[in-house]
Amino acid sequence: MKFEFNHFNFNVQDLERSIKWYEAVLGLKEVKRNVAKDGRYIIVFLGDGVTDFRLELTWLRDHPEPYDLGEQEFHLAMVVEDYEAAYDHHKALDAIIYDNQAMNLYFLEDPDGYWIEILSKYR
């Protein structure tokens, strides 16, 4: 029996704001959308156009307060071929919240407070 990664979920408060952020900051695009008939949730899957892995953004109508993200010990990690260009892009957007040049990695924070780690593909 073999298991493969499929997707990772973040619950978000403002779905359209989050979709715009992930497209502008990471180049992710919407690939699928599920809307509840009664309007209680919307689920949007974002893809990188390279792998089959998806980021699932879930909006819940009846959850108006911010989500409890614990102590930020969990995060989504992404790799990029041109690390320096990505770093410059994110620095210009003022999106970097933690920078560890010694380890050649940095973190971004999305509009809901989730952390995204950026690593060089050739690390």
Active site residues: 117
**How many Å apart are CA 101 and CA 20, to the nearest integer?**
28
3-state helix/strand/coil string of 29-86: EEEEEEECCCCCEEEEEEECCCCCCEEEEEEECCCCCCCCCCCCCCCEEEEECCHHHH
Q: Write phi, then psi, for 30 (nearest 5 degrees).
A: -70, 130
DSSP-based three-state secondary structure for 107? strand
